[in-house]
């Protein structure tokens, strides 16, 4: 299962972790995915959504 939001397509980002000596090592920032049950076509469906998507859906009145 990929760490990707199926609604907005937000996925992990990569970059460098920097030490005090400015040595660079690769690292990854994952998306904060949460399991949530939503109604799709009148049936409950479990999906993994990012917290920002959940907040937006609650603000718009979808959840």
How do residues 16-40 score in pLDDT, each as one tens digit? 999 999 999 999 999 999 999 999 8
> Is there a contact between 38 and 63 (Cβ–Cβ < 8 Å)?
yes
The whole model's pTM is what? 0.80
CA distance 45 to 61: 18
Q: Please answer whether residues 19 and 27 qualify as being in contact, where contact means their C-beta atoms are separated by less than 8 angstroms.
A: no
Domain edges within the chain: 33-63
The pLDDT of residue 1: 73
């Amino acid at each position: 299962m990929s760490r990707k939001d199926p609604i907005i397509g937000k996925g992990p980002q990569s970059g460098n972790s920097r030490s005090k000596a400015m040595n660079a090592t690769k690292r990854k920032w994952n998306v904060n995915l949460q399991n949530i049950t939503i109604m799709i076509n009148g049936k409950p469906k479990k999906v993994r959504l990012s917290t920002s998507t959940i907040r937006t859906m609650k603000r718009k009145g979808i959840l």
